[in-house]
Structure 1
Amino acid sequence: MAQTTMLRRYLPATIVIAGLAGGYLLGLHHYLTLEFLADSRERLTGLRDANPILAPLVFAAIYALAVAFAFPAASILTIFGGFLFGWLLSSVLVAFAATTGASALFLAARSAFGDTLKARVGPRAAKLAKGFEDNAFLYLLALRLAPIFPFVVVNIAPALFDVRLRTYVAATFLGILPGVVAYTYLGEGIESVILAAHEAGREASFGDLLTPKICIAFAGLALVAIIPAIVRTLRNRRG
């Protein structure tokens, strides 16, 4: 009985760790670069055009698995999505896929390490714990909005502080939306840069990236960065 309980507790986390290690051993990280995107543009768009329904679903599944296995690929995959499907469709795909993958990782971390890690971090995480205890939804929402901590860290941290799954899902989905839209818009802008350079018979240079669309995308990211400060100010005023 005890062995069965231990297996159920640690199996999800073991699968995550094995999947992450397997991804690196297979060299999947080499495909998650802008260089690969530029070199494989025609092949990727060809697959997309040949499979208009399946391609978005496969992309969403790959995205959810990458997040669930804690693979550090959220930003580049979001750009890939904007490149392949445009900012609107890819924003929807990424928002749902990222939330699904993050929730799976959250549940795995809570099952295996929640009580143990919470006991070990002790006073060093007191401030973080207080934030979740005061208002878990708003605190997690602020963490999602602020691109300060790595995505995978924010996926796992709430597992240490008894955050409810529905709270986690809602705050994650809403909190990642601004960044998702900005990065997919950036991806759509990169598509136009690659196409223009390809038509001119040359490789895209850094100067080519300074297009109005990409400048707007970076302005959006800058706005996302200051949203948490605005939220804190409004909350303090109400307090």
Structure 2
Amino acid sequence: MVAALGAFLLRDALSFETLRENRESLLAFRDANFTGLAAIFIAVYVLIVAFSLPGAAVASVTGGFLFGLWVGTAFNVFAATIGACLIFVAARAGLGEMLMARIEASNGKLKKLQAGLRENEISVLFLLRLVPAVPFFVANLVPALVGVRFVNFVWTTALGIIPGALVFTWIGVGVGEVFDQGGTPDLSILWSPQIIGPILGLAGLAALPILIKALRGKKEI
């Protein structure tokens, strides 16, 4: 309900056009009160992620525009991780407890799925973060609902989202020049070979332990 309401109310507010129209005032406020703007930025980003609101990509680009590549990436990763953790805790406390009870009581496919995920927990969590086709909110909810360890969820989220965060923040660093030329930031760059290649390579490394275990299991049989 909150996500639907937020999508309706914020569909025009969280956009590149809004950033274009307010960039001078944002930069002026940053120069006058860096700490205050940083706190506001992080709080807004956390709310966007926690309630699965639209605008996460715009927020990531804004982080690069306002704070530069390295500080912007740090803020983006920190805020997105906090928001993801809030979703995880909420799901675990709500529907998660009921679903976990049903899984624990079952002896069928659900139980096997849970056991398989726990056996390869770290690899699967990294895959959820590194594969661009997996929506961010899905990667937040599924682990909570199948009972992964919270501490593993936290650190794999923080590390796993760094490659994507770097790309979006990097786009934000040059967004001023794009606006001056009358253009709009091109987020499709994420799918270019020089960007998606290394990310998929990292995903392959994350999947390697699962593949090795599967091959060892076949040999034992």
Q: TM-score, normalised by structure 2?
A: 0.81
- Deviation at residue 43 of structure 1 after TM alignment: 2.1
Q: State the AA in 1 paired with 2:26.
A: L
2:183 match: 204
CA 1:236/1:31 → structure 2, altered by over 3 Å: closer, same or farther? same
CA distance in 2, matches of 1:35, 1:105: 29
Q: Residue 31 of structure 1 aligns to a residue in which SS?
A: coil
CA distance in 2, matches of 1:125, 1:148: 24
1:179 match: 164
Question: Over residues 67-113 of structure 1, what are the superposed CA-to-partner deviations in whole Å (9 max), with x where a residue is unaligned?
Answer: 11121332221011111111110111111111111101100001100
CA 1:125/1:49 → structure 2, altered by over 3 Å: closer, same or farther? farther
Q: Residue 148 of structure 1 aligns to a residue in which SS?
A: coil
Query: Do 2:73 and 2:169's aligned partners in 1 also have CA atoms closer than 8 Å?
Result: yes
Q: Percent identity?
A: 33
Runs of 4+ residues over 4 Å off in structure 1: 117-120, 122-128, 214-218
- Deviation at residue 48 of structure 1 after TM alignment: 1.7
Most deviating of 224-233 and 151-160: 224-233
Instruction: Structure 2: state its 5+ residue gaps.
Output: 217-221
Instruction: Structure 1: state its 5+ residue gaps.
Output: 1-16, 198-202
2:136 to 151, 175, 180: 151
Query: Do 2:65 and 2:175's aligned partners in 1 also have CA atoms closer than 8 Å?
Result: yes
Equivalence map 1:160-175=2 (5 Å): 160-175=145-160
Q: State the AA in 1 paired with 2:75.
A: L
CA distance in 1, matches of 2:203, 2:18: 34
Please report the RMSD computed on the Cα atoms of aligned residues, expressed in angstroms: 2.9
Query: Do 2:14 and 2:54's aligned partners in 1 also have CA atoms closer than 8 Å?
Result: no
How many equivalent residue pairs?
Answer: 209
Q: Residue 120 of structure 2 aligns to a residue in which SS?
A: helix
Q: State the AA in 2 paired with 1:146.
A: V
- Deviation at residue 165 of structure 1 after TM alignment: 1.1
Q: Residue 194 of structure 1 aligns to a residue in which SS?
A: helix
